[in-house]
Amino acid sequence: MIDQKKIDAINALVIGWMEPVMYRNDPVTGEVLNGLGPADFNRVMAGYGCPKCCAKFKTYLVSCPVCGFVRNLEEDVVAPPQHWVDHLEERNAAWADSKPVSADEFFAEIMRDSDIEKHKL
The percent of residues above 90 in pLDDT, for the chain, comes to: 34
| pTM for this entry | 0.57
Residues 6+ apart with CB under 8 A from 52: 32, 34, 64, 67, 69
Section 17-42 average pLDDT = 90
Residue 84's pLDDT is 87
pLDDT tens for 49-101 read: 999 999 999 999 989 999 999 988 676 567 788 998 899 888 888 777 777 78
- Give the whole-angstrom CA distance, residue 69 versus residue 31: 13
DSSP string of 42-84?
HHHHTTSB-TTT-EEESS--SB-TTT--B--TTTSSPPPPHHH
Mean pLDDT of the chain, nearest integer: 86
Residue 39's pLDDT is 92
